[in-house]
Amino acid sequence: MKLITSYTSPFGRKVRIVLAEKRIECQLIEDNPWVAESSVSALNPLGKVPILLLDDGRTLYDSRVIVDFLDHSSPVGKLIPSDHRQAISIKRREALADGISDAAVLIRQERSRQPHMQSTEWIEHQQAKIERGLEHIAGELDEKKWWGGDLFSLADVALGCTLAYLDFRLPELGWQSRYPNLQKFYSKLEERPSFTETAPPMI
C-alpha cells in the first residue's frame, strides 16, 4: 500500500495519523500537485492529494474515503464507531473540520497570487467559514475531553489536523487565545506520537 501526499497537507496528515493510530504499514510517497511533473492528476482526476494506492491495483481518494477504508481494514484502534448513527455523527464532525481546512487552503492559495489579482472579498468569505466553524466546534466540545464523546475518534484526528494547519498557515487568526477549550484539547493531542511524528515540515 502506498500513500501519495504532500507533507504539508492537513488531509494527508489526517490519513498519516490514522495509519499510525491503527499501526498500519504504508509506504509514503511525497508529491506536490502544484508542479508540472506531478503524477497526482494521472491518479486522481481532481488533481489533489492524498491518494491511496492499494496492493490490488485500486486507487482511493479523497481523505475521507481513505480513512474510512483504513478504519475498516483493521480492528486495531477503531476511530469510527460501528453503530451507524454514531458513525454519521463522527463523520459530520470530520466534514466540519475538513471544511475549515478547505477554507484555509483556499486563503493560502489566494494569497499566493499576484497582489493585484487577490480578492479581499473572497478571503473574507473563507475566513467567515473558519470563524463560524471554530465557534461551533468550541461550543460542541465545551469542557469534554474528546469532541465526539467519551472515546478518541476520527473527529479528534480531523480537528487536530485543522487546528495545526491554521497555526501553520494562518497564525494571525490566534484561535488559541479566543478558544481556551480548543487549546486544552489540542495540547492533549500533541502528546500523541501519531501527531508529533506527522507534524508539517518547518517551511
Ligand X SMILES: N[C@@H](CCC(=O)N[C@@H](CS)C(=O)NCC(=O)O)C(=O)O
- Per CB under 6 A, does 110 bind ligand X? no
Note whether 103 binds ligand X by CB under 6 A.
no
The CA angle 111-113-116, to the nearest 5 degrees, is 100
Shortest spacing between CB 109 and ligand X, in angstroms? 7
Alpha-carbon gap, residue 30 to 33, rounded angstroms: 10
Task: Write out the three cell numbers for 43.
Answer: 491518479
Min CB(67)–ligand X separation in Å: 9
Number of residues that make up the chain:
203
**Closer to ligand X by Cβ: residue 102 or 131:** 102
14-73: contacts with ligand X (CB under 6 A): 33, 47-50, 62-64
Nearer to ligand X, 16 or 48 (CB): 48
Should residue 11 be labelled a site residue for ligand X when binding is judged by CB under 6 A? yes
- For ligand X, give the closer residue by CB, 63 or 194: 63
- Give residues with Cβ within 8 angstroms of 61, minimum separation 6: 43, 44, 46, 48, 50, 51, 52
Q: List phi, psi (to 5°) of 59.
A: -120, 130
Binding footprint of ligand X on the chain (CB under 6 A)? 6, 9, 11, 33, 47-50, 62-64, 98, 105
